[in-house]
């Protein structure tokens, strides 16, 4: 049941749609898992949610990848699409919509958007000579390249000199308006560092944006409605997914669109911060509510991940070795929105063993097993509370209340930090109260009951908060505690476990991995 006032609130979260020229990697897993955490958070607050993730199937590099595999384009795309879906399913990403840009409805809507912009005389045909990076699927300016003349984002792919006739969207007429929008909507781009980067991009006159590719060069794309010798530039097509997913231009999309937040990596700030808003303005449509930008994962020591160095973290390998929640936990706890963070299988293993295993899982199994063994398979009812009990209960409410409030992407790690800090406090409380001593005498037996109850009820609150982050294992923990279903909107509340109730089967939540 939803909170009455909440019935009207909606939130639409999108992830980038990923290129299918390779298998899904940790960066793809990351953005989609963060989007899932934000969805679960807002759902817990009572919002109606829409989460889209998926794949970007057009463009030159996907086309070349299919050729390289020696497969038909259709078979290749289906194969990769199934692979991405499978990874998101295994990551417990509860997407509501899986995007495929090869869908007919998407193609028709994109062509409609192009025609409407063309009809306003905002698209011109002209000859162009430029340097093209296939990695970015973008023309590059001289000043965008390294001293060696390579794209800094794709140093192993050679840039190509290209001369061709294409269609271009006029950008400059919209630059001032976009700057004004950014100034008037302080939340439009977050964090600040990326807002500044975007303002920098908009500080000089904008060149027209090439929005077509001649079929002689690229065939994998959406045909231009006004010239069948060309297909649509992959970025124009891909960005439009955010609208076509919610059935634009058919009625009904408006209420979702008004609440749209794009999650993106810093690598694609320009398409989302410059091209997309200008495409929307050109089409006469409102801008999305927010761009939430994050930095990148790099290998241990700050080294870029690469196959040759052997420091690539494969999401499937991690799930198989450590379980999905080890990965989700690491990503949530150690991500930083405005600076790069390091990742390796060793780091994930360590964080899993020490944080999830030692601090949370062990305490749960020790306290729950003790309770079952000493109190006839049950959770005991508490007696009067001591100052120590009151203190730990207060700390737990304080530490978890952030998950009962709106979470922004950049705030996820701080909320995880406060949960881990309170888990330390809970362990200290349990060690100091020493229920194993209290049980020995009849006169301290009631005190023992209270300590066990307080410990397990506090763990319940922590696990309820963590269902937004590590839903699978948090759900198991709540089942072990026989916890009642949580209300919506959720906020941390004490004493929801019933004294003298049966506990479930106690299993080790986070078995130690060497
Ligand atoms: O750019 N750390 O697709 P893409 C964190 N198809 N996140 C990372 C990352 C890393 N090291 N590497 C990649 C495209 N990502 C276009 C998008 S959207 C309309 C079209 C994540 O397969 C991050 O979200 O190159 C980044 O923006 C995205 O993957 C790029 O995925």
Question: Which residue in 68, 304, 369, 394 is the catalytic one?
Answer: 304
- State yes or no: is 106 an active-site residue: no
Q: pLDDT value at position 7?
A: 53
Q: How far is the CA of 141 from the centre of ligand 1 (A)?
A: 22
Helix, strand or coil, per DSSP, at residue 290: strand
Residue nearest to atom 4 of ligand 1 (CA): 18
Q: How far is the CA of 497 from the centre of ligand 1 (A)?
A: 43
Which atom number of ligand 1 is nearest to the Cα of residue 16? 18
Q: What's the sign of the alpha-carbon dihedral 145, 150, 153, 157?
A: positive
Helix, strand or coil, per DSSP, at residue 479: helix
Which atom number of ligand 1 is nearest to the Cα of residue 267? 27
Q: How far is the CA of 19 from the centre of ligand 1 (A)?
A: 8
Stronger pLDDT, 8 or 353, i.e. the higher one? 353
Q: What angle do CA 428, 431, 435 make, to 5 degrees?
A: 135
Q: What angle do CA 373, 378, 382 make, to 5 degrees?
A: 110
Which atom number of ligand 1 is nearest to the Cα of residue 239? 19
Residue nearest to atom 24 of ligand 1 (CA): 265
Q: How far is the CA of 17 from the centre of ligand 1 (A)?
A: 8
Residue nearest to atom 13 of ligand 1 (CA): 27
Question: Which residue in 39, 81, 151, 372 is the catalytic one?
Answer: 151
Quick: pLDDT tens for 143-172.
889 988 999 989 888 899 988 999 999 999
- State yes or no: is 154 an active-site residue: yes
Q: How far is the CA of 24 from the centre of ligand 1 (A)?
A: 10
Quick: pLDDT tens for 32-66.
999 999 999 999 999 999 999 999 999 989 999 99
- Choosing from 13, 16, 266 the residue with most ligand 1 atoms within 8 A of its CB, the one to mutate for a pocket test is 16
Return mean pLDDT, the chain.
Answer: 96
Helix, strand or coil, per DSSP, at residue 355: helix
Q: How far is the CA of 393 from the centre of ligand 1 (A)?
A: 41
Question: Which residue in 2, 3, 10, 25 is the catalytic one?
Answer: 25
- State yes or no: is 272 an active-site residue: no
Model confidence at 3: pLDDT above 50: no
- Choosing from 18, 25, 300, 335 the residue with most ligand 1 atoms within 8 A of its CB, the one to mutate for a pocket test is 18
Residue nearest to atom 30 of ligand 1 (CA): 18
Q: Which residue has the tokens 């005991």?
A: 380
Which atom number of ligand 1 is nearest to the Cα of residue 266? 27
DSSP 149-208: S--TT-TTSPPEEEEEEEEEE--GGGHHHHHHHHHH-TTSEESHHHHHHHHHHTSSPPPP
- State yes or no: is 25 an active-site residue: yes
Q: For residue 35, report the phi and psi dihedrals to the nearest 5 degrees.
A: -60, -40
Which atom number of ligand 1 is nearest to the Cα of residue 59? 6
Which pTM does this prediction carry? 0.96
For residues 83 and 48, is the Cβ–Cβ distance under 8 A? no
Model confidence at 275: pLDDT above 80: yes
Residue nearest to atom 2 of ligand 1 (CA): 296
CA atoms of 426 and 408, how far apart (whole Å): 27
- Comparing C-alpha atoms, which of 427, 451, 448, 450 is closest to residue 439? 448
Note whether ipTM > 0.85 here: yes
For residues 260 and 272, is the Cβ–Cβ distance under 8 A? no
Model confidence at 134: pLDDT above 90: no
For residues 289 and 261, is the Cβ–Cβ distance under 8 A? yes
Q: How far is the CA of 137 from the centre of ligand 1 (A)?
A: 13
Q: Which residues line ligand 1 (CB under 6 A)?
A: 16-19, 27-28, 30-31, 56, 238-239, 241, 264-265, 267-268, 296-297
Q: How far is the CA of 52 from the centre of ligand 1 (A)?
A: 15
Q: Please list the alpha-helical segments (H only) found in 225-297.
A: 234-239, 241-244, 254-257, 269-270, 276-283
Model confidence at 208: pLDDT above 70: yes
- State yes or no: is 133 an active-site residue: yes
CA atoms of 480 and 496, how far apart (whole Å): 14
- State yes or no: is 304 an active-site residue: yes
- Comparing C-alpha atoms, which of 391, 315, 369, 356 is closest to residue 466? 356
Quick: pLDDT tens for 323-380.
999 999 999 999 999 999 999 999 999 999 999 999 999 999 999 999 999 999 999 9
Question: Which residue in 58, 107, 133, 195 is the catalytic one?
Answer: 133
Q: pLDDT value at position 138?
A: 86
- Comparing C-alpha atoms, which of 44, 16, 17, 39 is closest to residue 400? 44
pLDDT band at 2 (very low <50, low <70, confident <90, very high): very low
Model confidence at 423: pLDDT above 90: yes
> Which are the contacts of 298, defined by CB distance < 8 A and separation ≥ 6?
304, 305, 340, 341, 342, 343
Quick: pLDDT tens for 497-511.
999 999 999 999 999
Cα Rg for the chain, rounded, in angstroms?
26
If 0-12 CB within 10 Å is exposed, 13-18 middle and 19+ buried, where does residue 216 land? exposed
CA distances from 152 to 133, 137, 144 (A): 10, 14, 8
């Amino acid at each position: 049941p939803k909170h009455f006032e909440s019935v009207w609130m909606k939130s639409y979260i999108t992830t980038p749609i990923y290129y299918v020229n390779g298998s899904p990697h940790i960066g793809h897993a990351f953005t989609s898992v963060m989007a899932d955490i934000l969805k679960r958070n807002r759902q817990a607050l009572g919002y109606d949610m829409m989460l889209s993730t998926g794949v970007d199937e057009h463009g030159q590099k996907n086309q070349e990848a299919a050729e390289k595999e020696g497969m038909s384009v259709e078979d290749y795309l289906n194969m990769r699409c199934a692979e991405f879906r499978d990874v998101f399913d295994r990551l417990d990403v509860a997407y509501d919509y899986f995007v495929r840009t090869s869908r007919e409805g998407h193609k028709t809507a994109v062509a409609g958007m192009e025609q409407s912009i063309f009809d306003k005389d905002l698209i011109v045909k002209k000859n162009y000579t430029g340097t093209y990076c296939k990695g970015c699927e973008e023309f590059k300016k001289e000043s965008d390249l390294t001293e060696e003349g390579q794209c800094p984002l794709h140093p192993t792919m050679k840039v190509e000199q290209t001369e061709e006739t294409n269609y271009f969207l006029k950008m400059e007429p919209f630059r001032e308006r976009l700057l004004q929008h950014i100034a008037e909507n302080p939340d439009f781009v977050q964090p600040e560092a990326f807002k500044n980067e975007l303002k920098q991009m908009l500080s000089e006159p904008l060149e027209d944006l090439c929005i077509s590719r001649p079929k002689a060069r690229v065939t994998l794309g959406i045909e231009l409605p006004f010239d069948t010798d060309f297909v649509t530039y992959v970025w124009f097509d891909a960005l439009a997914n955010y609208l076509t997913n919610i059935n634009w231009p058919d009625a009904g999309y408006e209420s979702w669109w008004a609440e749209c937040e794009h999650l993106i990596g810093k690598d694609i700030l320009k398409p989302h911060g410059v091209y997309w808003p200008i495409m929307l303005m050109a089409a006469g449509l409102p801008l999305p509510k927010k761009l939430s930008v994050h930095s990148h994962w790099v290998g241990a020591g700050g080294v870029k991940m690469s196959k040759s160095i052997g420091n690539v973290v494969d999401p499937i390998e991690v799930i198989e070795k450590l379980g999905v929640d080890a990965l989700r936990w690491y990503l949530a706890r150690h991500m930083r929105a405005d600076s790069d963070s390091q990742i390796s299988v060793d780091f994930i293993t360590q964080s899993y063993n020490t944080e999830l295993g030692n601090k949370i899982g062990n305490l749960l199994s020790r306290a729950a097993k003790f309770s079952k063994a000493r109190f006839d398979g049950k959770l005991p009812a508490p007696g009067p509370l001591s100052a120590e009990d009151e203190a730990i209960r207060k700390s737990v409410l304080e530490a978890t209340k952030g998950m009962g409030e709106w979470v922004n992407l950049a705030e996820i790690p701080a909320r995880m930090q406060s949960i881990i800090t309170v888990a330390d406090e809970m362990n200290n409380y349990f060690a100091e109260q020493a229920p194993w001593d209290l049980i020995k005498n009849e006169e301290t037996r009631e005190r023992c009951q209270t300590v066990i109850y307080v410990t397990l009820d506090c763990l319940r609150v922590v696990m309820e908060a963590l269902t937004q982050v590590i839903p699978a294992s948090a759900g198991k923990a709540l089942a072990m505690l026989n916890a009642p279903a949580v209300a919506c909107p959720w906020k941390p509340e004490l004493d929801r476990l019933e004294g003298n109730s049966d506990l479930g089967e106690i299993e080790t939540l986070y078995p130690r991995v060497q």
